[in-house]
Structure 1
Amino acid sequence: MKIHFLYFLISAIFSFNLSAQINRPQEPKEPFNYIIEDVEFKNNMDSISLAGTLTYPKEGSNFPAVILISGSGPQDRNSDMMNHKPFMVIADYFTNKGIAVLRVDDRGTGASEGNYNATGLDGFVSDTNSAFEFIKTHSAINPVKIGLIGHSLGGVIAPIIASKNQDVSFIVLLAGSGIRGDKLMLLQKEIIERKMGVPEAGITQGQNYMKGAYNIILNSNNDDNQLQSDLKDYFNEIFGAMLTDSQIKSLSEQMSMPWLTDFIKFDPKESLSKTKCPILALNGANDLQVPSKENLEAIEAILLANGNTNTKTMTLDDLNHLFQESKTGLPNEYAIIEQTFSPMALDIMFEWIKRQTE
């Protein structure tokens, strides 16, 4: 999940060195040995146009395909963050191996219409469904071999779609969560703060403060203005001596954004328990934002109860939330690591998808 919401804004106590690094050795460079199409399609449910890039091999036809689904926060089709372009790296790798890839600007980003922060999870599901229906009609694509790859929040969206659409051939969850959003965010906060050396008393106090805010969200209805007012009153009560009125107002506004409140309330069990297609779930051992043990164990238990046996879960050593080889997994490493996406993780995904589409 994009750190400015699920870590910086929620913890509200740390700052990161996100200085951009120039050296990104994995970033694909021209000439490309595949076809690149800029595409545009409609989300008819919300009456917006979405734009992206479709890549597929120059030779052959009837290609299997994947749609990439980004994590939280508005991102462009490359998932460009801190001069890293992970979705571009993934698309280049898969396309060179014979798998078509569609990557899309999130609504309100790049060439896509709409307003990201005014949208709930249903809107993001609708966007990806629209991408799925679009790619099914493309002459180069095999319509019965299309899967979804979702990172972080995208790993929540992918099972929602697959649980309702039997045409989804498979899904890959990259740091997808298996526990309810509020529990995940509290766990994330605790682990990162402990890793950074915050005293235990401070960690406990922070947990109590944020539990109170999440309980307000969990008990809220669909009135965004009322929720924002309730959060503002709560933060004034606990942070009034530490934060300015402007900071409290900003924090309340951001925590009442529809997509974030939907995520806090959402339990992945709702969709994973109904998902019957093959599933690959990967997490990094150094992922501090979606911790591997708690989430993969939850995903495994849900799928076991579901009876879906065509599943695989793996914890990958040394990888952080962005699937970079890392030392600590802390977000302040993301920008200074030259690697954009682990080659090992790319290989594992490709070999698994190849087996599903043969």
Structure 2
Amino acid sequence: MKSLIITILLTAFSAMNVFSQNISGVWHGIATNPDNKEITFVFLFERNDEVFNTTMAVPNFDVSGVKPKATTFENGILSIDGSNVGMKYEGKLNETTQQIEGEYTEGSTKLILNLIKGNPKIAAPKRPQVPEKPYPYFEEEVVFENSKANIVLAGTFTRPVGSEKFPVVILISGSGRHDRDGSIPTHKPFLVLSDYLTRNNIAVLRYDDRGFGESTGDFSKATTADFAQDVLSAVRYLKSRKDIDAKHIGLIGHSEGGIIAPLAANQTSDISFIVTLAATGIPGSKVSVLQSKSLRPFPVPDEVAFEDNVRQAIKIASSSKEMSEKRKELTAHNKSYLAPILKSLGAKDENISKFINNETKSTLKPWSIYFYNYNPAVEFEQLSIPVLSLNGSKDTQVNSTINQNAIRNALIKANNKNYKIVELESLNHLFQECTTGNIDEYKEIEQTMSPIALKEISDWILEIVR
């Protein structure tokens, strides 16, 4: 009997020891940041012989596929070296609770993070404005061609039920790749806007950006001017339909879409009105300087010097010099002012180098160079068609006062007789009713788009086309 008990104990200890040395699978934990907000971390550990490979995700920030440099798990101690991505984790397996108790570090931030085996339970956020099928209107999947760029754009056309011809709008997305619903983490603002307008007797065409979703083309090589050509292709497609009023084709552009709209409208006589949502009215170079301050994720010791350096970087990128010369000059400039800042924040040399290379590459993209040199006021100054310009008072990406003043002055210069410029109180860049207007607040808000904004857009269009 004594021998049997010893055998059972040894077997149990052996099994526990094997478990403690093999953590393969999904683990997750919830940490509380200095702002008292909970952040969920998910780790997938895959064992290959004696080596662990780790993939990390942070659902709160829609971050996934992060692969730290190295992972070890020996004698119950888990160590994740994420120096390549600016993080590390150190933890110890508690044999009693079967939790890994440890600390997550990112820059100067340290968070208590205990991990348990299995996937986290993440409740789907409530999005009451997202419509559910069947819709009380006609919906059709469509494709149309931009023959100039040799691409095909795929989208969705909706219109009210009836035999009459309806006024129609084309939805134009903001910067970055977007699908036809304008999807951002947990929200589909273009789907909500399209549904609202269609229910109010306005037909809508929305489409996937080139090179994204079901649309063909290379998004990475396109500029604002190229996106304007995509809009004109959408206009030509709508004119071929028999169920829309070709005399009342309008454009609704959000953010960058708001400066694409006038650029497209000035190249055709087929657009009868424009609605801009969170559009800029000042040169892209100035927008970029403002955003470098309002959206920057790290502090700097000298704001004035930082702003001057950003201006210089933009000046280099937007110059007429050869690309190789610009790249060399911009890399040297970025190193001179960014490296000391990042070093002071505790970043390692390899991460600083990677950040500077990425920053240089991004600044020299075709889209960026065009944007720095593009002044939308020049296009607004040529508009004689009706214009509605809406901005939110708490927009942290596009300053409402600065940009609406510029748009207003441009339309006055154009001698435009029919424009309306409105700042909507307490709305952010997505036109959600908000508290701070900060980007990280967007997905926390249940509302996708304020009913106030939706009604303002719909009522104005119906007044224009009646």
Same fold (TM over 0.5): yes
TM-score by length of 2: 0.70
1:261 deviation in Å? 1.6
Per-residue CA distance 1:58-88 (angstroms, 9 max, x = gap): 2232110000000000110001001100000
Task: Please point out which of 210, 221, 227 is paired with 1:118.
Answer: 221
Equivalence map 1:141-180=2 (5 Å): 141-180=244-283
1:250 deviation in Å? 1.5
1:18 aligns with 2:61: yes
Structure 1, unaligned stretches of length 5 or more?
1-14
Is contact 1:224-1:258 (8 Å) kept? Answer: no
Task: Please point out which of 369, 372, 378 is paired with 1:270.
Answer: 378
1:72 aligns with 2:175: yes
SS at match of 1:315: strand
Structure 2, unaligned stretches of length 5 or more?
1-57, 63-121, 343-350
Per-residue CA distance 1:254-307 (angstroms, 9 max, x = gap): 121111221111111221111111000000000111111011011111111110
Task: Please point out which of 132, 136, 139 is paired with 1:36.
Answer: 139
Task: Please point out which of 316, 319, 323 is paired with 1:219.
Answer: 319
Task: Please point out which of 181, 189, 199 is paired with 1:96.
Answer: 199
Amino acid at match of 1:51: A
1:187 aligns with 2:290: yes
Distance (whole Å) between structure 2 residues aligned to residue 88 and residue 224 of structure 1:
40
1:225 deviation in Å? 4.8
Query: Residue in 1 aligned with 2:456?
Result: 348
Is contact 2:395-2:428 (8 Å) kept? Answer: yes
Query: Residue in 1 aligned with 2:306?
Result: 206
SS at match of 1:176: coil
Is contact 2:248-2:272 (8 Å) kept? Answer: yes
Q: Quick one: higher RCO (CA 8 Å, sep 6+), 1 or 2?
A: 1
1:81 aligns with 2:180: no
Instruction: Check 1:197–1:259 CA distance in 2 against 1; reply closer, same or farther (3 A cut).
Output: closer
SS at match of 1:124: helix
Q: Percent identity?
A: 38
Query: Residue in 1 aligned with 2:331?
Result: 232
Is contact 1:163-1:276 (8 Å) kept? Answer: no
Is contact 1:16-1:331 (8 Å) kept? Answer: no
Is contact 1:16-1:332 (8 Å) kept? Answer: no
Task: Please point out which of 347, 352, 362 is paired with 1:254.
Answer: 362
Q: Normalized per residue, which structure has more helix?
A: 1
Distance (whole Å) between structure 1 residues aligned to residue 126 and residue 198 of structure 2:
23
Give the stretch that moved more between structures: 121-130 or 63-72.
121-130
Per-residue CA distance 1:212-235 (angstroms, 9 max, x = gap): 1111123235x5554334322221
TM-score by length of 1: 0.90
1:252 deviation in Å? 1.3
1:309 deviation in Å? 1.8
Instruction: Check 1:228–1:138 CA distance in 2 against 1; reply closer, same or farther (3 A cut).
Output: farther
Q: CA RMSD in A?
A: 2.0
Distance (whole Å) between structure 1 residues aligned to residue 383 and residue 398 of structure 2:
21
